[in-house]
Structure 1
Amino acid sequence: MSRKGKSAEDDAWDAITKKQPPRRVPRPKPAAKSVVKPAAKAAKPRKKASRPSPYKFWLGLAALATLALVVLYVELFVEKRKSAWPEGHSVYGVDVSHYQKEIDWQQVRQNEVSFAFVKATEGRTIQDKQFQRNWEKAREVDIIRGAYHFYIPHVKPELQAANFIATVQLSSGDLPPVLDVEVRGRKPVGQLRADLKVWLRQVEDAYGAKPILYTSYAFYKDYLDGHFDDYHLWIAHYNVPELRLEKSSRRKLAFWQHTDGGTIKGIDGMVDCNVFYGSMRELRSVCLP
């Protein structure tokens, strides 16, 4: 049946029954993907501060102590090379014998050596076993050479002179023969001087050249001073800045042996070193013509 009019109740009913809009049901959010974080790297354990090893410390200390001992030994006991030549001279030489063994004369020449005295004989019968080799090799490298005889006071001077003359053959450009006198023996001083003059005269007659006289400073002053002024002198005087003898018109000072502990390349061990009082030109004027 139809109803023409609406009462208040009808309106209320309509309000109640009026179709309501559908309720929106929220969609469930998709579950968040779980992000798996990489595991943190395990922290490295800290190294403990290294302490110096006692073993290394003592090893280093021992090495330093050894080095110090080596330096001390060298300073105290090892023979050191000495300067071969004194100041104020420019013509240098050596004198040698079998004590220097085999010498490299080429190296000697390259070390400023201009002249060399070579031991030839001693006493009545002795010949130095290295004489011939030294004599020939020195000449080969253009070193001015000289030969010497070591004098024995108790042996007759004539026999000693004959030994030297039979052993040594001198050539033009060689230094005059040398008489090496270092010991007096039991001879009275006057007799020693007379015997030395016998040797000197005999050798001078054989070679036609006045010999050179070698001795030490003290021996010269004690026994020979003023008695052999006609001869060129070769004086040994060590550990002094200069020889205490002077060259003069009376004294023919020619050579100074300033050390018996010199070192020269080419010679094994220590060697006597000498200087000439003059120039190379003056040295050649002393040699045999």
Structure 2
Amino acid sequence: MWGLGRFVLIVAALALAGVAAWRVAIRWHPSIERFPVQGIDVSEINGIIEWPVVKGGGADFGYAVATTGTIARDRLFQQNWEAMAAAGMRRGAVLVFSFCQPAAAQADAFNTVVPRDHGALPAAIDFSYAEGCVDRPERGALIRDVTEMIRRVESHTGAPVLLRVSRAVEDDYHLTDAFKRSLWATGNFFAPGYGARAWRMWRASDMHHVEGIEGPVNWNVAAK
């Protein structure tokens, strides 16, 4: 009986330690001294956001998903886009790339949704694998299609795009070798080391909690 009681105490202690670690993890962000510019990226899954509160919580900028593929427009993009500006935050738009739809058409869809704003942050194109899309084009064909996509988006925005490339996609396609654009890399808690060049943006946590948003949000830092 004593052995069972001791076991229960050990389990309880481990559970408490796990809760404590989780509480630390959801508030963690890289050092402000090392990375003074930090912010979030969001989509409609984050719900209604109180942007002035988020800014007060330490976010200097925000990126919002505008479109996914050719026809999926983020239902909260326009609201987020306007609210970021009203809160005095720098703002940027994200095109989530689909390997299952024509790249040029995806660029055109993005351009119809995102207003021209020469004061905005560079538009970002997200390359990551998504459930429900199993197409994996040959690298040469993908590079040709993405080249046209980038041309169209940059013609609209007037600035070089930022490429948010997951480690899995980079391993398969080496996009950072093909395109001389700034890299937005991803990696929870540990600075990523993949890609042909040093990252300019790092998504440091996808579980960060900040006042003004219900639930976890992606937290990012910019390189100096």
Same fold? TM cut 0.5: yes
1:209-288 alignment to 2 at 5 Å? 209-223=159-173, 224-228=175-179, 230-240=180-190, 242-245=191-194, 251=197, 253-278=199-224
What is the total number of aligned residue pairs between the two structures?
Answer: 206
d(CA) in 2 for partners of 1:134, 1:74: 37
CA radius of gyration, larger in? 1
What is aligned with 1:189? 139
Pick the aligned partner of 1:108 from 54, 57, 67.
54
The answer to whether the 8 Å contact 1:231/1:252 transfers is no
2:117 is the counterpart of 1:171: yes
In the TM superposition, residue 205 of structure 1 has moved relative to its aligned partner by: 1.5
Pick the aligned partner of 1:201 from 151, 154, 168.
151
What is aligned with 1:43? none
1:136-151 alignment to 2 at 5 Å? 136-151=82-97
Deviations 1:237-272 (A, max 9, x none): 2242x22158xxx83631011111111111111111
What is aligned with 2:5? none
Query: Kindly tell me: are residues 238 and 222 of structure 1, through their superposed partners in 2, closer, same or farther at Cα, counting changes over 3 Å?
Result: farther
The answer to whether the 8 Å contact 1:92/1:112 transfers is yes
d(CA) in 1 for partners of 2:51, 2:197: 32
Structure 1 stretches of 4+ with a deviation exceeding 4 A read 71-79
What is aligned with 1:98? 44
SS of corresponding position for 1:120: strand
Structure with more relative contact order (C-alpha pairs < 8 Å, separation 6 or more)? 2
In the TM superposition, residue 171 of structure 1 has moved relative to its aligned partner by: 1.5
d(CA) in 2 for partners of 1:146, 1:103: 16
d(CA) in 2 for partners of 1:207, 1:172: 7
TM-score (norm 1): 0.65
The answer to whether the 8 Å contact 2:116/2:156 transfers is no
d(CA) in 2 for partners of 1:121, 1:219: 19
Pick the aligned partner of 2:30 from 86, 90, 104.
86
SS of corresponding position for 1:139: helix
The answer to whether the 8 Å contact 1:84/1:273 transfers is no
In the TM superposition, residue 76 of structure 1 has moved relative to its aligned partner by: 4.3
AA aligned to 1:85 is H
Query: Kindly tell me: are residues 172 and 186 of structure 1, through their superposed partners in 2, closer, same or farther at Cα, counting changes over 3 Å?
Result: closer
d(CA) in 1 for partners of 2:114, 2:140: 29
CA RMSD of aligned residues (A): 2.4
Query: Kindly tell me: are residues 232 and 225 of structure 1, through their superposed partners in 2, closer, same or farther at Cα, counting changes over 3 Å?
Result: closer
What is aligned with 2:99? 153
Query: Kindly tell me: are residues 117 and 73 of structure 1, through their superposed partners in 2, closer, same or farther at Cα, counting changes over 3 Å?
Result: same
SS of corresponding position for 1:253: coil
Pick the aligned partner of 1:124 from 70, 73, 79.
70
TM-score (norm 2): 0.83
In the TM superposition, residue 81 of structure 1 has moved relative to its aligned partner by: 4.7
d(CA) in 2 for partners of 1:232, 1:109: 25
AA aligned to 1:244 is G
